[in-house]
């Protein structure tokens, strides 16, 4: 089930969108604390973000720029600002689409489905956190513009960690990710791979690191 995060301060519209998306079998999350938008985005790990522009404290363009520095999650702007220059600004800042209020819910659903189709047809997109960008198609890592080749296990572990950035991942989940038909992975092998990954991230001067949560698992911070 695809997860959609709604960043909208109009409670009536937010509820309206939430109900319709839920009826289309999307999992819906809501940002309610507009002082912690970036944190809630990272915590929710959504597949798509619906982002209003006129928000308390900072506008949606500010949050779009901040989000784009961390993740490449698709973003559709929903805004009452219909001027062409506003739409261009949104796209230039990294939005995948722009829809102006008022809009029909069927149009919004169509745009959401179109974004997901583009992603599915082009394969997994690159995923960015801080100064590292995981290139899924080539199983490599871009750090400050430099391409770093990864081993199969480094790629698998990083993909899980980046997808769950700032969230604890259990050892069981990581063991399941590394195991395949040709290689048996035991607990000791996982520990060795995690140790190597920690060292690799330090060597390439990544702005993230793997933290051990004893008795629970690991978290990328």
pLDDT digit string, tens, across residues 74-92: 899 999 988 888 988 888 8
Kindly report, residue by residue over 27-70, the tens digit of the pLDDT. Answer: 999 998 888 888 888 888 888 999 999 998 899 999 998 887 77
Residue 67, pLDDT score: 82
Among candidates 36, 41, 39, which has minimal Cα distance to 6? 41
- Residue 118: pLDDT band (50, 70, 90) is confident
How far lies 161's CA from each of 28, 32, 210, in Å?
22, 26, 8
CATH superfamily of 3-122: Response regulator (3.40.50.2300)
Q: Where in the chain is the domain with CATH 3.40.50.2300?
A: 3-122
All CATH 1.10.10.10 domain ranges of the chain, comma separated, are: 151-220
Averaged pLDDT of the chain: 85
Does residue 126 have a pLDDT over 70?
no
Note if the pTM is more than 0.75.
Answer: no
pLDDT range class, residue 131, cuts 50, 70, 90: confident
Please state which CATH number belongs to domain 151-220. Answer: 1.10.10.10
- Which DSSP state fits 130? T
Token representation of residue 215:
């008795």
Whether residue 132 contacts residue 143, with contact meaning beta carbons closer than 8 Å, is answered with yes
Whether 183 shows a pLDDT value over 70: the answer reads no
Quick check: 207 pLDDT over 80?
yes
Q: What is the pLDDT of residue 180?
A: 57
* pLDDT, mean of residues 3-23: 93
């Amino acid at each position: 089930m695809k997860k959609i995060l709604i960043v909208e301060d109009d409670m009536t519209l937010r509820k309206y969108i939430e109900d319709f998306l839920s009826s289309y079998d999307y999992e819906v999350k809501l940002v309610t604390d507009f002082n912690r938008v970036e944190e809630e985005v990272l915590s929710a790990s959504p597949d798509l973000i619906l982002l209003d522009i006129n928000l308390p404290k900072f506008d949606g363009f500010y949050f779009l720029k901040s989000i784009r520095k961390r993740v490449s999650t698709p973003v559709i702007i929903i805004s009452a600002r219909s001027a062409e220059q506003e739409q261009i600004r949104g796209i230039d800042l990294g939005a995948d689409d722009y829809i102006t209020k008022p809009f029909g819910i069927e149009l919004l659903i169509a745009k959401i489905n179109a974004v997901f189709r583009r992603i599915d047809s082009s394969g997994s997109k690159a995923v960015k956190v801080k100064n590292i960008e995981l290139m899924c198609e080539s199983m490599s890592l871009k750090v400050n513009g430099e391409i770093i080749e990864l081993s199969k296990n480094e790629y698998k572990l990083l993909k899980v960690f980046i997808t769950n950035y700032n969230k604890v991942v259990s050892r069981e989940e990581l063991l399941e990710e590394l195991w395949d038909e040709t290689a048996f992975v035991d607990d000791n092998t996982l520990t060795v791979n995690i140790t190597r990954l920690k060292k690799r991230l330090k060597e390439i001067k990544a702005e993230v690191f793997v933290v051990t949560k004893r008795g629970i698992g690991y978290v990328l911070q």
